[in-house]
Every structure is written in structure tokens, then in C-alpha cells.
Amino acid sequence: MGKKIKKLIVGTTLAVTLFTSTVSFNFANQIHTVVNGDTLWKISQQYNTSLDEIYQLNPQYRSNPTLVVGSTIKISSNTQFTNYTVVKGDTPWLISNRLGVTLNELLKANNLTSVSEIYPGQVLKIPSKTTVSQHNTFQYTVVRNDTPWTISQKFNISLQQLLDINNITTGQSIYVGQILLIPSTSNNNSVAGNTGQTTTGNSKTFTTHTVVRGDDLWNISIQYGIPFTELLQVNGLSEKSIIQIGQRLTIPVYRIAIKPTPGPQYGELLDWWTEAQYVVPIGKVFTIVDFQTGKRWQAKRTIGANHSDTEPLTSKDAAIMKDVWGGNYSWGTRAVIVEVDGRRLASSASSLPHDIQFISNNNFNGHFDLYFLNSTRHVDGKGDPKHQANVLRAGGK
């Protein structure tokens, strides 16, 4: 399975509205006693605060940041906490992901380590250094090429708003898969829908799978239509983890709402990372319709990470593809519609067979690339302008 896993989807999480309802409380300032190896930056990271906050409470360090072992530093404790009661199936990663905090923040706030176990009924503190009501926010999952500035522009909020609500400092890096809170405004709900990060309609719940004889993690991820790496993350596992008969695994279940289109000839514009990959999971069979000619053929998503690695289902389907591309397979891209489970999705395809092949009797030596909104290339993780232009065309934009 090693070669297959190299092309798996790097976990993403659906953006959802945050419904946690708990009471917040504050603590007085803390005192940190300097130990060998401490720096102001290291201390700021330890207490999830900023250098500016440390300087404000300890102005003597503005001109001379040298620390003396045994000296004390005031630390701002304006962090707000909400109480969360653990339920069956919860893991620290699952809770941090659901409530929009990092795993390290959750562990630190509750004196836990990466191997600590939690139990149903246990009350955990959820940190939040913002005074913005979490009922007026929704979650956004960072994708490739995102920066705090581009995200703030996408949702019609100021950069400072985004930084403040997520306790991010200017210049601090964000990473793919990181969940950020976005303050709701009168202008950004429609923006969220247009980018695939919708605040309503989509939903994410969880179910439990009990391991039986013959199960492995790869096949379980295929069975439930979720990325392999997401299954690992939710359950605190690695690729080398061994599962046991009777072991219970938490399985994310996504329901992706149908989006309106400008007309019946167009397809839904679904974001690859948060929507399309769950509607067209690995193993899914569907029909592809060439947007220009209307010619149709069947295909199957057989693997894929940043986009869908797809194969024609039969030799007849491969022949139709070849005809659509003028008699020769190529890297040339075409706008297409993917018909799946009664839905029509905007997409883009090239036809050149390459790399891994799973269907051996279709007269097609490899797979072809199928892109959706915000899909990226495997080779460099960047978007492909030609594919994205086709996706928008198929979506009526």
C-alpha cells in the first residue's frame, strides 16, 4: 500500500458552524520564574500569549530582553475558557478540531500530554483568547496557498480581526488543515458559500466502527468514504498503527448540501478539500459529461490526494474519452460535468493515462486527472489555472 498512500489526501475538515454553549471565565495574571534556556519568545509560546503582551506587563525587557535565571515575569491570563464535557468516542484531537483550538492548546490547558487518555463525563477547559462570541463565528479550514491576509479578504473581514480572534500574531505562519475561527458579518455568509466554506447546509457528525477480522485502516477509510489520513488523525493513529478486533474507531460522516447553479446545464461548484472529495470518494463510480460536446462515459475514482485520480470504467468508456480529445489522449484540459448520485458537479479533466492503474481491463494504461474547485497538483501542491478556469466555466462563472 506504500505507493498508494503517497497520493492520499492530506486531512481536511469540513467548515461548520460552532454550536458550543458554555460559560467563560477569566484568571488573574500568572507569574513565570525564569529557568535555564528561557527566552521571551519561548515563554510567549509556552503561555500562548504574544511578545507584545509580555512587554506591556514587563516593560523593563523592551530595552534589554536578557533574562536572568530565577527572575520572575508577569504573564497575561486574559485567556477565556469554556467547559466541555467529554462524550463517548471523543479524542483530544477530535475535540480540538471541533472547537477550533489547536491540539497543543487543548493539552496545555488541561495538563494533558499527547498520550493522555480522556473519558466520558470528564470536563475539559477549552481556551479562547478572544472576546468575540463563538456563537457568532464559523470555522474555516486552511488550504494550500492560504495566508491570513487572503483569508481575511475572502470573508470580508479585517486582517486584525482574523488575527485577534485566532490569537495569531503578525507574521505567524498558518498550515494546511489548521482550523481558524471566522467572525460572522452581514457580508461574509454569501462569500463563505461561494468558496466552498459554507456556514449552513453542510454538516459533520460521527459514527463508530468496530474492527472485525480482516479490517485494515485503508479499507475502513474506503468503506466510509473518508481520507485515510483523516481517519488516522481523528483516532490518534499513524500509518504504522496496528488495530485489534473489537477496537472502536471514530468515523467522520459528512453531508454536503446541494448548491444552486445558474442553469440546468451547469454543475455545482464544490470545494475539493471540504466538499467534493466527500461526494466523490475513492471507489466511487460516476458519469462524466463533456461540457462542450455532451458526450458521456463512466469512470471511477481509484485514488488521489490533491485531486481525483480517475480511470475509465471499461474499454468502451476509454474509447469515448479518446474520441472527445480528438483521437489522442493528452494533457489538454476540458470542462466536464460529473454526474454522481443525482447531482451534477463542475469539474475539469485531462485524458493522458499515467502512473498508478487499478482497473486492468479498460484498455487504459494508468489514470487521468479530474479537478474540482480548488483542487491542486500532486507534484507541487499548487493550483492549475487551466483546470480551475474549466471548473468555473462548467459552474457557469
| pLDDT average, residue stretch 200-208 | 79
The predicted pLDDT at position 202 comes to 83
Flag the least confident range among 13-22, 134-143, 177-186, 312-321: 13-22
Flag the least confident range among 15-24, 59-68, 112-121, 239-248: 15-24
Euclidean distance between CA atoms 191 and 200, whole angstroms = 12
pLDDT in tens, 322-372: 999 999 999 999 999 999 988 999 999 999 999 999 999 999 999 999 999
| pLDDT average, residue stretch 117-123 | 84
pLDDT in tens, 210-234: 999 999 999 999 999 999 989 988 8
Pick the closest to residue 90 from 55, 59, 66, 119 (CA basis).
Answer: 119
Query: Three-state SS for 303?
Result: strand
Euclidean distance between CA atoms 384 and 397, whole angstroms = 17
Split at pLDDT 50, 70, 90, the class of 392 is very high
The owner of cell 487504459 is 364
Flag the least confident range among 9-18, 195-204, 307-316: 9-18
pLDDT in tens, 242-257: 999 999 998 888 889 8
Q: Residues 300-329, buried b or exposed e (16+ Cβ, 10 A)? A: bbbbbbbbbbbbbbbeebbebbbebbeeeb
pLDDT in tens, 271-283: 999 999 999 999 9
The owner of cell 513565570 is 32
Split at pLDDT 50, 70, 90, the class of 91 is confident
Determine what percent of the chain is predicted with pLDDT higher than 70.
81
- The count of other CB atoms within 10 Å of the CB of residue 168 is 17
What's the number of CA atoms in the CB half-sphere (13 Å) around residue 247? 16
Burial (Cβ within 10 Å: 0-12, 13-18, ≥19) of residue 264: exposed
| pLDDT average, residue stretch 194-223 | 78
Split at pLDDT 50, 70, 90, the class of 196 is very low
Residue 292 reports pLDDT greater than 80: yes
Query: Three-state SS for 189?
Result: helix
Split at pLDDT 50, 70, 90, the class of 77 is low
Q: Are 199 and 15 in contact (CB under 8 A)?
A: yes
